[in-house]
Amino acid sequence: MAAEKSSIKIITLIAADGSVFEVEPNIVKEMKTVQSYIDELDQNTVSIPLPNVFGNDLAMIIEYCKKHASEEETKEAKEEFDFEFVKRMKSDDKLRLLQAASYLNMESFLQFMAKAIAAEIENQSVEFVRDYFQIESDFTPEEEAELRKENEWAFK
Amino acid sequence: MSSELISMEHLDDGEASSNNVDEVEVTNTPLICGLPDDISLLCLARVPRKYHSVLKAVSKRWRDLVCSDEWFFYRRKHKLDETWIYALCRDKFDHVCCYILDTTSSRKSWKLIHGLPPHIMKRKGMGFEALGNKLFLLGGCGWSEDATDEVYSYNASSNSWVEAAYLSTARCHFACEVMDEKLYAIGGIGSNSSDPHSWDTFDPFTNSWTSHRDPNIVPEIEDSVVMDGKIYIRCGKSPVTPHVYAVVYEPSSGTWQHADADMVSGWRGPAVVVDGILFVLDQSLGTRLTMWHKERREWIPVGKLSPLLTRPPCQLVAVGKSIYVIGKGLSTVVVDVGDVGNMGRVMMGSSIPKLVSDYNVISCKCLSI
Protein backbone atom coordinates (compact mmCIF):
# COMPACT_ATOMS: atom_id res chain seq x y z
CA MET A 1 0.00 0.00 0.00
CA ALA A 2 2.71 2.46 1.07
CA ALA A 3 4.85 1.56 -1.90
CA GLU A 4 1.97 2.15 -4.28
CA LYS A 5 1.33 5.59 -2.85
CA SER A 6 4.92 6.69 -3.08
CA SER A 7 4.80 5.82 -6.74
CA ILE A 8 2.34 8.64 -7.39
CA LYS A 9 4.28 11.13 -9.46
CA ILE A 10 1.79 13.77 -10.38
CA ILE A 11 -1.42 15.00 -8.81
CA THR A 12 -3.94 16.85 -10.88
CA LEU A 13 -6.06 19.46 -9.11
CA ILE A 14 -9.14 20.74 -10.88
CA ALA A 15 -10.41 24.13 -9.69
CA ALA A 16 -14.03 25.30 -9.62
CA ASP A 17 -13.66 27.08 -12.98
CA GLY A 18 -12.22 23.97 -14.63
CA SER A 19 -8.60 25.11 -14.67
CA VAL A 20 -6.18 22.25 -14.15
CA PHE A 21 -3.01 22.21 -12.04
CA GLU A 22 -0.48 19.43 -12.09
CA VAL A 23 1.64 19.30 -8.96
CA GLU A 24 4.08 17.03 -7.21
CA PRO A 25 2.88 15.14 -4.13
CA ASN A 26 4.98 17.16 -1.68
CA ILE A 27 3.11 20.33 -2.70
CA VAL A 28 -0.24 19.01 -1.54
CA LYS A 29 1.15 17.54 1.67
CA GLU A 30 -0.28 20.42 3.67
CA MET A 31 -3.72 20.20 2.04
CA LYS A 32 -5.36 17.69 4.38
CA THR A 33 -8.53 17.62 2.30
CA VAL A 34 -6.55 16.60 -0.78
CA GLN A 35 -4.39 14.23 1.22
CA SER A 36 -7.36 12.26 2.55
CA TYR A 37 -8.60 11.96 -1.06
CA ILE A 38 -5.24 10.54 -2.14
CA ASP A 39 -5.19 8.10 0.78
CA GLU A 40 -8.53 6.67 -0.27
CA LEU A 41 -7.36 5.91 -3.78
CA ASP A 42 -4.73 3.39 -4.74
CA GLN A 43 -3.99 4.54 -8.23
CA ASN A 44 -0.73 5.85 -9.60
CA THR A 45 -2.25 8.98 -11.03
CA VAL A 46 -4.94 10.97 -9.32
CA SER A 47 -7.05 13.87 -10.37
CA ILE A 48 -8.93 15.70 -7.66
CA PRO A 49 -11.78 18.15 -8.24
CA LEU A 50 -11.83 21.13 -5.84
CA PRO A 51 -15.26 22.70 -6.45
CA ASN A 52 -14.81 25.34 -3.72
CA VAL A 53 -11.56 26.86 -4.94
CA PHE A 54 -11.14 29.11 -7.96
CA GLY A 55 -8.20 28.75 -10.33
CA ASN A 56 -6.61 32.11 -9.49
CA ASP A 57 -6.69 31.33 -5.79
CA LEU A 58 -5.44 27.79 -6.27
CA ALA A 59 -2.53 29.13 -8.33
CA MET A 60 -1.58 31.42 -5.44
CA ILE A 61 -1.90 28.65 -2.86
CA ILE A 62 0.27 26.33 -4.96
CA GLU A 63 2.84 29.10 -5.33
CA TYR A 64 2.86 29.51 -1.53
CA CYS A 65 3.17 25.76 -0.96
CA LYS A 66 6.00 25.41 -3.49
CA LYS A 67 7.99 28.13 -1.77
CA HIS A 68 7.42 26.72 1.69
CA ALA A 69 7.98 23.08 0.70
CA SER A 70 11.32 23.95 -0.91
CA GLU A 71 14.34 22.81 1.07
CA GLU A 72 16.74 25.07 -0.79
CA GLU A 73 15.07 28.29 0.29
CA THR A 74 16.35 29.95 3.45
CA LYS A 75 14.06 31.01 6.29
CA GLU A 76 14.72 34.65 5.41
CA ALA A 77 13.78 34.09 1.77
CA LYS A 78 10.52 32.46 2.84
CA GLU A 79 9.72 35.36 5.16
CA GLU A 80 10.49 37.82 2.38
CA PHE A 81 8.21 35.84 0.09
CA ASP A 82 5.40 35.89 2.70
CA PHE A 83 5.72 39.63 3.05
CA GLU A 84 5.47 40.20 -0.70
CA PHE A 85 2.69 37.62 -0.99
CA VAL A 86 0.48 39.55 1.45
CA LYS A 87 1.31 42.82 -0.27
CA ARG A 88 0.23 41.39 -3.62
CA MET A 89 -3.19 40.28 -2.34
CA LYS A 90 -6.20 42.52 -2.66
CA SER A 91 -8.64 42.76 0.27
CA ASP A 92 -11.15 40.39 -1.29
CA ASP A 93 -8.43 37.91 -2.29
CA LYS A 94 -7.53 37.51 1.37
CA LEU A 95 -11.00 36.50 2.41
CA ARG A 96 -11.35 34.03 -0.50
CA LEU A 97 -7.90 32.56 0.20
CA LEU A 98 -8.82 32.13 3.84
CA GLN A 99 -12.00 30.31 2.81
CA ALA A 100 -9.96 28.13 0.46
CA ALA A 101 -7.41 27.41 3.20
CA SER A 102 -10.26 26.43 5.47
CA TYR A 103 -11.77 24.15 2.82
CA LEU A 104 -8.42 22.57 1.96
CA ASN A 105 -7.69 22.27 5.70
CA MET A 106 -4.18 23.70 5.50
CA GLU A 107 -2.97 24.46 8.99
CA SER A 108 0.00 26.75 8.48
CA PHE A 109 -1.51 28.56 5.50
CA LEU A 110 -4.63 29.11 7.59
CA GLN A 111 -2.53 30.69 10.34
CA PHE A 112 -0.80 32.82 7.75
CA MET A 113 -4.09 34.01 6.24
CA ALA A 114 -5.64 34.57 9.66
CA LYS A 115 -2.82 36.98 10.47
CA ALA A 116 -3.29 38.72 7.14
CA ILE A 117 -7.04 39.14 7.74
CA ALA A 118 -6.47 40.38 11.29
CA ALA A 119 -4.02 42.97 9.94
CA GLU A 120 -6.55 43.92 7.27
CA ILE A 121 -9.25 44.86 9.77
CA GLU A 122 -7.18 46.39 12.55
CA ASN A 123 -7.23 50.15 12.61
CA GLN A 124 -10.44 50.17 10.57
CA SER A 125 -13.91 51.50 11.30
CA VAL A 126 -16.90 49.41 12.32
CA GLU A 127 -18.46 50.21 8.94
CA PHE A 128 -15.39 48.92 7.11
CA VAL A 129 -15.43 45.63 9.04
CA ARG A 130 -19.16 45.14 8.43
CA ASP A 131 -18.73 45.90 4.78
CA TYR A 132 -15.70 43.65 4.42
CA PHE A 133 -17.41 40.59 5.90
CA GLN A 134 -20.87 41.57 4.65
CA ILE A 135 -22.39 41.65 8.09
CA GLU A 136 -25.55 43.56 8.85
CA SER A 137 -25.88 45.26 12.19
CA ASP A 138 -28.56 43.77 14.43
CA PHE A 139 -28.23 46.41 17.14
CA THR A 140 -31.00 48.82 18.04
CA PRO A 141 -30.21 52.51 17.38
CA GLU A 142 -29.77 52.95 21.16
CA GLU A 143 -27.25 50.11 21.34
CA GLU A 144 -25.45 51.52 18.30
CA ALA A 145 -25.14 54.90 19.99
CA GLU A 146 -23.82 53.29 23.17
CA LEU A 147 -21.22 51.25 21.28
CA ARG A 148 -20.16 54.29 19.29
CA LYS A 149 -19.57 56.13 22.55
CA GLU A 150 -17.46 53.26 23.87
CA ASN A 151 -15.45 53.28 20.66
CA GLU A 152 -14.76 56.98 20.89
CA TRP A 153 -13.53 56.39 24.43
CA ALA A 154 -11.37 53.47 23.36
CA PHE A 155 -9.52 55.59 20.83
CA LYS A 156 -9.26 58.76 22.90
CA MET B 1 -39.05 33.25 31.56
CA SER B 2 -36.90 35.32 29.23
CA SER B 3 -35.00 32.25 28.11
CA GLU B 4 -38.23 30.65 26.96
CA LEU B 5 -38.99 33.72 24.91
CA ILE B 6 -35.66 33.43 23.11
CA SER B 7 -36.39 29.83 22.13
CA MET B 8 -39.85 30.81 20.93
CA GLU B 9 -38.50 33.54 18.69
CA HIS B 10 -36.11 31.16 17.08
CA LEU B 11 -38.81 28.60 16.50
CA ASP B 12 -40.82 31.28 14.73
CA ASP B 13 -37.85 31.91 12.48
CA GLY B 14 -38.15 28.31 11.41
CA GLU B 15 -34.75 27.46 12.87
CA ALA B 16 -34.05 24.14 14.44
CA SER B 17 -33.92 24.92 18.11
CA SER B 18 -32.83 22.73 20.96
CA ASN B 19 -33.35 23.38 24.63
CA ASN B 20 -30.10 25.28 24.63
CA VAL B 21 -30.99 28.86 25.48
CA ASP B 22 -27.56 30.24 24.82
CA GLU B 23 -28.18 32.64 21.98
CA VAL B 24 -24.75 32.07 20.47
CA GLU B 25 -25.47 28.36 20.17
CA VAL B 26 -28.99 28.72 18.88
CA THR B 27 -28.22 31.19 16.11
CA ASN B 28 -27.21 29.56 12.86
CA THR B 29 -25.65 32.63 11.28
CA PRO B 30 -21.90 32.15 11.15
CA LEU B 31 -19.57 34.82 12.54
CA ILE B 32 -18.18 35.29 9.05
CA CYS B 33 -20.11 34.14 6.00
CA GLY B 34 -18.57 31.09 4.36
CA LEU B 35 -16.31 30.19 7.27
CA PRO B 36 -16.66 27.80 10.19
CA ASP B 37 -16.76 29.73 13.48
CA ASP B 38 -13.50 28.23 14.75
CA ILE B 39 -11.69 29.64 11.70
CA SER B 40 -13.33 33.02 12.27
CA LEU B 41 -12.13 32.95 15.87
CA LEU B 42 -8.63 32.09 14.63
CA CYS B 43 -8.65 35.33 12.59
CA LEU B 44 -10.51 37.69 14.87
CA ALA B 45 -8.61 36.72 18.02
CA ARG B 46 -5.46 37.98 16.29
CA VAL B 47 -6.79 41.51 16.13
CA PRO B 48 -4.97 43.59 18.79
CA ARG B 49 -6.87 44.34 22.00
CA LYS B 50 -7.01 48.03 21.19
CA TYR B 51 -9.45 47.30 18.35
CA HIS B 52 -11.72 44.92 20.25
CA SER B 53 -14.18 47.74 20.82
CA VAL B 54 -14.56 47.97 17.03
CA LEU B 55 -15.20 44.22 16.70
CA LYS B 56 -17.78 44.42 19.51
CA ALA B 57 -19.73 47.05 17.58
CA VAL B 58 -20.08 44.93 14.42
CA SER B 59 -22.98 42.73 15.46
CA LYS B 60 -24.47 41.04 18.52
CA ARG B 61 -22.75 37.76 17.71
CA TRP B 62 -19.39 39.49 17.42
CA ARG B 63 -19.99 41.39 20.65
CA ASP B 64 -20.88 38.17 22.48
CA LEU B 65 -17.77 36.49 21.06
CA VAL B 66 -15.38 39.28 22.11
CA CYS B 67 -16.91 39.33 25.61
CA SER B 68 -16.90 35.54 25.97
CA ASP B 69 -14.67 33.30 28.07
CA GLU B 70 -13.87 31.40 24.86
CA TRP B 71 -12.27 34.55 23.43
CA PHE B 72 -10.39 35.27 26.66
CA PHE B 73 -9.02 31.75 27.01
CA TYR B 74 -8.20 31.42 23.30
CA ARG B 75 -6.09 34.59 23.38
CA ARG B 76 -4.40 33.49 26.58
CA LYS B 77 -3.72 29.95 25.28
CA HIS B 78 -2.18 31.21 22.05
CA LYS B 79 -0.22 33.94 23.84
CA LEU B 80 -2.13 36.64 22.01
CA ASP B 81 -3.24 38.35 25.22
CA GLU B 82 -2.10 41.91 25.84
CA THR B 83 -1.64 43.50 29.24
CA TRP B 84 -3.15 46.81 30.23
CA ILE B 85 -2.55 48.45 33.59
CA TYR B 86 -5.41 49.58 35.77
CA ALA B 87 -4.75 52.22 38.43
CA LEU B 88 -7.04 53.00 41.31
CA CYS B 89 -6.60 56.66 42.24
CA ARG B 90 -7.99 59.30 44.54
CA ASP B 91 -8.77 62.64 42.93
CA LYS B 92 -8.63 66.11 44.45
CA PHE B 93 -12.17 65.75 45.84
CA ASP B 94 -11.00 62.60 47.62
CA HIS B 95 -13.09 60.48 45.24
CA VAL B 96 -11.92 57.14 43.95
CA CYS B 97 -11.45 56.81 40.20
CA CYS B 98 -9.93 54.22 37.91
CA TYR B 99 -7.51 54.82 35.04
CA ILE B 100 -6.24 52.52 32.35
CA LEU B 101 -2.96 52.31 30.40
CA ASP B 102 -2.47 50.32 27.22
CA THR B 103 1.13 49.11 27.60
CA THR B 104 1.33 47.99 23.97
CA SER B 105 0.44 51.38 22.53
CA SER B 106 3.19 53.46 20.95
CA ARG B 107 1.63 56.64 22.32
CA LYS B 108 0.99 55.64 25.91
CA SER B 109 -1.36 57.73 27.98
CA TRP B 110 -3.66 57.16 30.93
CA LYS B 111 -7.40 57.17 30.33
CA LEU B 112 -10.31 57.38 32.76
CA ILE B 113 -12.71 54.43 33.07
CA HIS B 114 -16.32 55.53 33.41
CA GLY B 115 -19.21 53.98 35.26
CA LEU B 116 -17.67 53.36 38.68
CA PRO B 117 -20.64 52.92 41.05
CA PRO B 118 -21.04 56.44 42.55
CA HIS B 119 -21.71 55.38 46.12
CA ILE B 120 -18.35 53.63 46.47
CA MET B 121 -16.34 56.61 45.23
CA LYS B 122 -15.94 57.98 48.74
CA ARG B 123 -14.85 54.70 50.27
CA LYS B 124 -11.41 54.19 51.72
CA GLY B 125 -9.40 51.05 52.28
CA MET B 126 -11.01 49.10 49.43
CA GLY B 127 -9.29 46.00 48.07
CA PHE B 128 -8.34 46.17 44.37
CA GLU B 129 -7.48 43.11 42.31
CA ALA B 130 -7.63 41.67 38.80
CA LEU B 131 -8.76 38.10 38.15
CA GLY B 132 -9.47 36.70 34.69
CA ASN B 133 -10.97 39.50 32.61
CA LYS B 134 -12.40 41.26 35.65
CA LEU B 135 -11.28 43.88 38.12
CA PHE B 136 -12.60 43.70 41.65
CA LEU B 137 -13.23 46.49 44.14
CA LEU B 138 -13.83 44.93 47.53
CA GLY B 139 -14.99 46.09 50.93
CA GLY B 140 -13.80 49.43 52.22
CA CYS B 141 -15.31 51.94 54.59
CA GLY B 142 -16.23 55.60 54.81
CA TRP B 143 -16.02 58.19 57.58
CA SER B 144 -19.68 57.60 58.36
CA GLU B 145 -19.79 54.04 57.04
CA ASP B 146 -18.63 50.93 58.83
CA ALA B 147 -16.53 48.37 56.93
CA THR B 148 -18.60 46.72 54.21
CA ASP B 149 -18.68 43.28 52.62
CA GLU B 150 -19.79 44.64 49.25
CA VAL B 151 -17.83 43.72 46.13
CA TYR B 152 -18.03 45.32 42.69
CA SER B 153 -16.48 43.95 39.57
CA TYR B 154 -15.56 45.61 36.30
CA ASN B 155 -15.65 43.38 33.27
CA ALA B 156 -12.83 44.64 31.06
CA SER B 157 -14.22 42.81 28.01
CA SER B 158 -17.70 44.28 28.18
CA ASN B 159 -16.55 47.51 29.88
CA SER B 160 -19.25 47.32 32.54
CA TRP B 161 -19.55 47.35 36.32
CA VAL B 162 -21.70 44.92 38.27
CA GLU B 163 -22.21 43.95 41.86
CA ALA B 164 -20.37 40.71 42.67
CA ALA B 165 -20.61 38.05 45.40
CA TYR B 166 -20.18 39.66 48.82
CA LEU B 167 -17.14 38.98 50.98
CA SER B 168 -17.66 36.50 53.83
CA THR B 169 -16.41 39.20 56.18
CA ALA B 170 -16.74 42.98 56.04
CA ARG B 171 -13.23 44.41 55.59
CA CYS B 172 -11.41 47.70 55.24
CA HIS B 173 -7.66 48.43 54.76
CA PHE B 174 -6.94 44.77 54.15
CA ALA B 175 -4.63 42.80 51.88
CA CYS B 176 -5.99 41.64 48.57
CA GLU B 177 -4.13 39.25 46.28
CA VAL B 178 -4.69 36.75 43.49
CA MET B 179 -3.02 33.35 43.57
CA ASP B 180 -3.85 30.17 41.63
CA GLU B 181 -6.88 31.79 40.01
CA LYS B 182 -8.37 32.63 43.39
CA LEU B 183 -8.94 35.96 45.06
CA TYR B 184 -7.72 36.43 48.64
CA ALA B 185 -9.01 39.10 51.05
CA ILE B 186 -6.89 39.04 54.19
CA GLY B 187 -7.03 40.71 57.58
CA GLY B 188 -7.72 44.41 57.83
CA ILE B 189 -10.24 46.21 59.96
CA GLY B 190 -13.67 44.65 60.01
CA SER B 191 -16.94 45.51 61.62
CA ASN B 192 -17.39 44.90 65.34
CA SER B 193 -18.78 41.45 64.78
CA SER B 194 -16.09 40.23 62.40
CA ASP B 195 -13.13 38.09 63.32
CA PRO B 196 -9.87 40.12 63.23
CA HIS B 197 -7.79 37.00 62.50
CA SER B 198 -9.57 35.84 59.38
CA TRP B 199 -9.17 35.73 55.62
CA ASP B 200 -11.56 34.98 52.77
CA THR B 201 -10.98 33.27 49.44
CA PHE B 202 -13.07 33.67 46.30
CA ASP B 203 -13.36 30.97 43.66
CA PRO B 204 -14.61 32.45 40.36
CA PHE B 205 -15.83 29.05 39.16
CA THR B 206 -18.22 28.62 42.07
CA ASN B 207 -18.67 32.39 42.41
CA SER B 208 -18.50 32.10 46.16
CA TRP B 209 -16.38 33.14 49.12
CA THR B 210 -15.03 30.88 51.84
CA SER B 211 -13.91 32.13 55.22
CA HIS B 212 -10.79 30.93 57.05
CA ARG B 213 -9.11 31.79 60.31
CA ASP B 214 -5.54 31.91 61.59
CA PRO B 215 -4.15 33.59 64.73
CA ASN B 216 -1.15 34.92 62.77
CA ILE B 217 -3.41 37.18 60.71
CA VAL B 218 -3.58 40.65 62.21
CA PRO B 219 -5.82 43.61 61.44
CA GLU B 220 -2.97 46.08 60.73
CA ILE B 221 -1.78 45.38 57.21
CA GLU B 222 0.56 47.59 55.21
CA ASP B 223 1.35 45.73 52.03
CA SER B 224 1.22 42.34 50.36
CA VAL B 225 2.86 40.49 47.52
CA VAL B 226 2.73 37.04 45.91
CA MET B 227 6.06 35.29 45.39
CA ASP B 228 6.89 31.63 44.64
CA GLY B 229 3.26 30.62 45.07
CA LYS B 230 3.01 32.13 48.54
CA ILE B 231 1.33 35.26 49.82
CA TYR B 232 3.51 37.60 51.90
CA ILE B 233 1.89 40.21 54.08
CA ARG B 234 3.77 43.02 55.72
CA CYS B 235 2.09 43.81 59.02
CA GLY B 236 1.84 47.19 60.62
CA LYS B 237 3.79 48.17 63.69
CA SER B 238 2.06 47.87 67.01
CA PRO B 239 3.15 48.25 70.64
CA VAL B 240 3.59 44.48 70.80
CA THR B 241 5.66 44.30 67.62
CA PRO B 242 7.65 47.53 67.22
CA HIS B 243 9.74 46.11 64.38
CA VAL B 244 8.56 45.44 60.82
CA TYR B 245 7.49 41.86 60.33
CA ALA B 246 5.63 39.81 57.76
CA VAL B 247 3.60 36.64 57.61
CA VAL B 248 3.56 34.21 54.75
CA TYR B 249 0.78 31.91 53.60
CA GLU B 250 1.72 28.39 52.59
CA PRO B 251 -1.07 27.00 50.40
CA SER B 252 0.19 23.43 50.92
CA SER B 253 -0.43 23.53 54.66
CA GLY B 254 -3.04 26.30 54.60
CA THR B 255 -1.33 28.11 57.44
CA TRP B 256 0.31 31.47 58.04
CA GLN B 257 3.86 31.59 59.39
CA HIS B 258 6.27 34.38 60.18
CA ALA B 259 8.36 35.28 57.13
CA ASP B 260 12.13 35.43 56.85
CA ALA B 261 13.20 38.47 58.91
CA ASP B 262 16.14 39.33 56.63
CA MET B 263 13.87 39.49 53.64
CA VAL B 264 11.31 41.57 55.49
CA SER B 265 13.97 44.03 56.73
CA GLY B 266 14.35 45.48 53.23
CA TRP B 267 10.66 45.54 52.37
CA ARG B 268 10.30 49.24 53.04
CA GLY B 269 8.11 50.34 50.21
CA PRO B 270 5.89 49.20 47.37
CA ALA B 271 6.92 45.77 46.09
CA VAL B 272 6.60 43.79 42.89
CA VAL B 273 7.75 40.35 41.77
CA VAL B 274 9.38 39.87 38.35
CA ASP B 275 10.38 36.32 37.39
CA GLY B 276 10.31 35.23 41.01
CA ILE B 277 12.53 38.11 42.16
CA LEU B 278 11.18 40.58 44.69
CA PHE B 279 11.81 44.25 43.89
CA VAL B 280 11.08 47.05 46.33
CA LEU B 281 11.02 50.79 45.77
CA ASP B 282 12.63 52.60 48.67
CA GLN B 283 11.17 56.09 48.72
CA SER B 284 12.86 57.36 51.88
CA LEU B 285 15.70 59.23 50.11
CA GLY B 286 14.82 59.78 46.48
CA THR B 287 13.50 56.67 44.76
CA ARG B 288 15.76 53.66 44.72
CA LEU B 289 14.95 50.23 43.41
CA THR B 290 16.32 47.28 45.37
CA MET B 291 16.02 43.54 44.92
CA TRP B 292 16.08 40.58 47.27
CA HIS B 293 18.79 38.10 46.34
CA LYS B 294 17.43 34.75 47.50
CA GLU B 295 20.70 32.80 47.39
CA ARG B 296 22.85 35.45 49.00
CA ARG B 297 19.99 36.33 51.32
CA GLU B 298 20.56 40.04 51.06
CA TRP B 299 19.09 43.16 49.54
CA ILE B 300 20.96 44.52 46.55
CA PRO B 301 20.57 48.05 45.20
CA VAL B 302 19.43 47.93 41.59
CA GLY B 303 19.47 51.61 40.79
CA LYS B 304 18.35 55.10 41.49
CA LEU B 305 15.46 56.50 39.51
CA SER B 306 15.56 59.97 38.08
CA PRO B 307 14.03 62.40 40.60
CA LEU B 308 12.73 64.46 37.68
CA LEU B 309 10.40 61.72 36.52
CA THR B 310 9.33 59.76 39.58
CA ARG B 311 6.85 61.48 41.81
CA PRO B 312 6.44 59.55 45.08
CA PRO B 313 4.48 58.04 46.65
CA CYS B 314 4.56 55.42 43.90
CA GLN B 315 3.01 52.04 43.23
CA LEU B 316 4.72 49.26 41.30
CA VAL B 317 3.40 46.85 38.74
CA ALA B 318 5.23 44.53 36.34
CA VAL B 319 4.50 43.72 32.71
CA GLY B 320 6.89 41.10 31.42
CA LYS B 321 10.34 42.22 32.55
CA SER B 322 9.38 45.87 32.84
CA ILE B 323 8.51 47.51 36.14
CA TYR B 324 6.09 50.40 35.91
CA VAL B 325 6.73 52.93 38.69
CA ILE B 326 3.50 54.89 38.94
CA GLY B 327 3.48 58.03 41.09
CA LYS B 328 1.41 61.10 41.81
CA GLY B 329 -0.76 62.26 38.93
CA LEU B 330 -0.08 58.86 37.34
CA SER B 331 3.35 60.01 36.23
CA THR B 332 4.93 56.75 35.12
CA VAL B 333 8.47 55.53 34.65
CA VAL B 334 9.15 52.20 32.99
CA VAL B 335 12.26 50.34 34.09
CA ASP B 336 13.46 47.23 32.32
CA VAL B 337 14.86 44.76 34.84
CA GLY B 338 15.53 42.00 32.31
CA ASP B 339 19.22 42.81 32.69
CA VAL B 340 19.86 43.51 36.36
CA GLY B 341 23.62 43.32 35.76
CA ASN B 342 23.81 47.09 35.48
CA MET B 343 23.58 47.76 39.16
CA GLY B 344 23.99 50.93 41.08
CA ARG B 345 23.53 53.25 38.16
CA VAL B 346 20.75 55.72 37.54
CA MET B 347 18.43 53.72 35.38
CA MET B 348 17.08 55.04 32.17
CA GLY B 349 13.62 54.08 31.16
CA SER B 350 10.78 55.45 29.14
CA SER B 351 8.26 57.64 30.90
CA ILE B 352 4.59 58.36 30.46
CA PRO B 353 3.36 61.91 31.12
CA LYS B 354 1.34 62.61 34.22
CA LEU B 355 -2.22 63.83 34.27
CA VAL B 356 -3.02 67.49 34.79
CA SER B 357 -4.25 66.83 38.33
CA ASP B 358 -2.12 65.45 41.14
CA TYR B 359 -4.12 62.30 41.81
CA ASN B 360 -2.80 59.89 44.39
CA VAL B 361 -2.35 56.34 43.23
CA ILE B 362 -3.80 53.80 45.64
CA SER B 363 -3.10 50.60 43.78
CA CYS B 364 -2.18 49.29 40.30
CA LYS B 365 -3.01 45.96 38.71
CA CYS B 366 -2.42 44.23 35.39
CA LEU B 367 -5.14 42.61 33.37
CA SER B 368 -4.44 40.68 30.17
CA ILE B 369 -6.93 39.85 27.45
pLDDT at B10 over 60: no
pLDDT band at B144 (very low <50, low <70, confident <90, very high): confident
- When pLDDT is averaged across residues B19-42 and rounded to a whole number, the result is 76
Interface test with A, best of B47, B65, B110, B113 (most A CBs within 10 A): B47
- Residue A29, judged by CB atoms within 10 A of its CB (0-12, 13-18, 19+), counts as middle
- Residue B348: its pLDDT value, please? 64
Residues in chain B with CB shorter than 8 Å from the CB of A123 are 51
pLDDT band at B12 (very low <50, low <70, confident <90, very high): very low
Share of chain B above pLDDT 90, in %: 66
pLDDT at B345 over 70: no
Give the CATH class of A2-122: alpha beta
- Residue B338: its pLDDT value, please? 80
Cα B122-B125-B128 angle, rounded to 5 deg? 100
Question: Are B46 and A114 within 8 A, CB to CB?
Answer: yes
- Residue B29: its pLDDT value, please? 85
* B42 three-class SS: helix
- ipTM reported for the complex, 2 dp: 0.89
pLDDT (tens digit per residue) in B249-300: 998 999 999 999 899 999 989 999 999 999 999 998 889 999 999 999 999 9
Share of chain A above pLDDT 70, in %: 92
A10 CA: distance to closest CA in chain B (Å): 30
Query: What residues contact A31, with CB distance under 8 A and at least 6 apart?
Result: A65, A104, A105, A106
- When pLDDT is averaged across residues A52-77 and rounded to a whole number, the result is 93
pLDDT (tens digit per residue) in A34-60: 988 888 776 667 889 999 999 999 999
- When pLDDT is averaged across residues B155-173 and rounded to a whole number, the result is 94
pLDDT at B28 over 80: no
- Chain B contact residues (CB < 8 Å to A): 32-36, 39, 42-44, 46-48, 50-51, 53-60, 62-63, 111, 114, 159
Question: Are A125 and B54 within 8 A, CB to CB?
Answer: yes
pLDDT (tens digit per residue) in B55-75: 999 999 999 999 999 999 999
Nearest to B57 among A115, A126, A134 (CB): A126
- Chain A contact residues (CB < 8 Å to B): 98-99, 102, 110-111, 113-115, 117-118, 121-126, 129-130, 133-139, 144, 147-148, 150-151, 153-156
Question: Are B46 and A118 within 8 A, CB to CB?
Answer: yes
Question: What average pLDDT is seen over chain B?
Answer: 87
- When pLDDT is averaged across residues B104-123 and rounded to a whole number, the result is 90
Specify the pTM: 0.88
- When pLDDT is averaged across residues B157-172 and rounded to a whole number, the result is 94
Question: Are A148 and B48 within 8 A, CB to CB?
Answer: no
pLDDT band at B358 (very low <50, low <70, confident <90, very high): confident
> Closest Cα to residue A153, out of B248, B261, B217, B115?
B115
> Closest Cα to residue B225, out of B190, B295, B274?
B274
Q: Where are the domains of chain A?
A: 2-122
- When pLDDT is averaged across residues B91-110 and rounded to a whole number, the result is 91
pLDDT (tens digit per residue) in B309-329: 888 899 999 999 999 999 999
**Max avg pLDDT among A128-132, B219-223, B337-341:** A128-132
pLDDT band at B18 (very low <50, low <70, confident <90, very high): very low
Question: Are A153 and B39 within 8 A, CB to CB?
Answer: no
B156 CA: distance to closest CA in chain A (Å): 12
Q: Which residue of A has its CA nearest to B78?
A: A111
Taking the C-alpha atoms of residue A16 and residue A32, their distance in angstroms, rounded to an integer, is 18
Cα-based distances in Å from A9 to A26, A27, B26: 10, 11, 47
Q: What are phi and psi of A104, to 5 degrees?
A: -80, -10
Set out the domains of chain B in order of their start, with CATH numbers: 2-77 (no CATH), 82-114+268-369 (no CATH), 115-259 (2.120.10.80)
